[in-house]
Amino acid sequence: MDVDVLRYVVTLSEELHFGRSAARHYVAEGHFGRRIRRLERELGVRLFDRTTRRVSVTPAGARVIAHARTTLASFDSLVEAVRGVEADGQVLRVGVLGFGVAHRWRTLVSGIAAAAPGVRIEYEELDLMDQYDAVRSGDVDVGLVHHLGGLDGLVMQPVLSTPRVAVVPRTSPLADADRLVEADVADLPWLPMAGADPRLAEWAAAGRQGGRTGQVIRRPAAIPTAVATSGRIGLHGAVAVRYCSHPEVAFVPLEGAPVDVAVATGGHDDRPVIRAVRAAAEATAGARGPGITTDPIHDPGAACVLD
């Protein structure tokens, strides 16, 4: 039993529908249902009655849900208390997915420093699976995450949008293409991408095709090396050309939805340092950065750099 499954139980008691409940947590319905059934086995009672038409709470379920609400309230209070202690020390834990905010790093960081003088920023790496839950749970104070839309419990502030590219082996005939459409790549082998939010699969429409098997990729920074190693194709944002290239791959513009990046903060987190982050994010969203190339990379000397 963990905090997440308690949240699932409370949500299901409100929605009385597995599909809608799973959608609120941005997890697959099958995964959501398995977690509920596992909890029922652990407790030895049925929490919900299910038919093909409806879901209802059992008497035992009502008692468990009442306790779950109390437990969650205590847990959330504990998280806020711990956050408050760290805020007093002016420590801001920033979780970063992949290239983060790319060429807008300086604008964001300087904006935070100006609004919250003396704050010390600590870096935490996020991956495609934990990027949202890390903020919700308080593991990090701020997340620089893939923005796919609104999320329960989070304030999402878009700050960067970059076109998507296909990452292809340099030996592939596609490496010299000026631009690709989904039909060009639909039947090719793709790197399977991890992700708890079902909308990631919708965003990666092209990558759903072509035999996605093997170990899933959790870290965007690993995509170029995985492509070079496996010969499969990956999806990335165009700014990865500057920040994490590889001599044996090319980045080719691919039609479809761009990679959007957002600054994520806890929906109930109103500490001064978080207000400073939100103000800096708003300023960053309106800032103009250097141009971003979406052309294929032909320089074998390109390397993974941050500036």
Distance CA 81, CA 238 (A): 40
Closest CA to 192 of 169, 216, 211: 216
> Are both 136 and 78 inside the same structural domain?
no
Average pLDDT, the chain: 84
Residue 172 lies in a domain: no
Is 195 among the domain residues? Answer: no
Same domain, 270 and 138: yes
Is 60 exceeded by the pLDDT of residue 115? yes
Q: Which domain holds residue 75?
A: 3-83
Q: Within this chain, do residues 143 and 268 fall inside the same structural domain, yes or no? A: yes
Last residue of a domain, one of 48, 65, 83: 83
pLDDT of residue 296: 40
pTM, to two decimals = 0.67
Q: Note whether 38 and 108 are same-domain residues.
A: no
44, burial (CB in 10 Å: exposed 0-12, middle 13-18, buried 19+): exposed
pLDDT at 295: 37
Cα dihedral 117, 118, 123, 129 in deg (nearest 10): -50
- Domain match, 34 and 77 both: yes
Residue 245 lies in a domain: no
- Using alpha carbons only, give the angle 183, 184, 187 rounded to the nearest 5 degrees: 75
What's 109's domain CATH number?
A: 3.40.190.10
Question: Is 252 inside any structural domain?
Answer: no
46 plus 14 within the same structural domain: yes
Instruction: Work out the percent of the chain whose per-residue pLDDT is above 90.
Output: 50
Q: Are 74 and 96 found together in one domain? A: no
232-266 residue pLDDT tens: 999 999 998 888 778 999 999 999 999 999 999 99
Measured CA to CA, the distance from residue 31 to residue 41 in angstroms comes to 15
Q: Is residue 173 part of a domain?
A: no
Asked if residue 27 belongs to a domain, the reply is yes
Q: Are residues 14 and 48 in the same domain?
A: yes
From 29, 62, 83, give the residue that closes a domain. Answer: 83
Spell out the alpha helix ranges (H) of the chain: 3-15, 18-25, 29-43, 59-88, 105-115, 133-136, 182-185, 199-203, 223-230, 240-243, 272-285
- Segment 112-132 shows an average pLDDT of 90
215 is a domain residue: no
Asked whether residue 12 is domain-assigned, the answer is yes
pLDDT at residue 9, as a whole number: 93
Q: How many domains would you assign to the chain?
A: 2
The residue among 163, 164, 180 whose CA lies nearest residue 172 is: 180
What pLDDT, on the 0 to 100 scale, is given for residue 198? Answer: 75
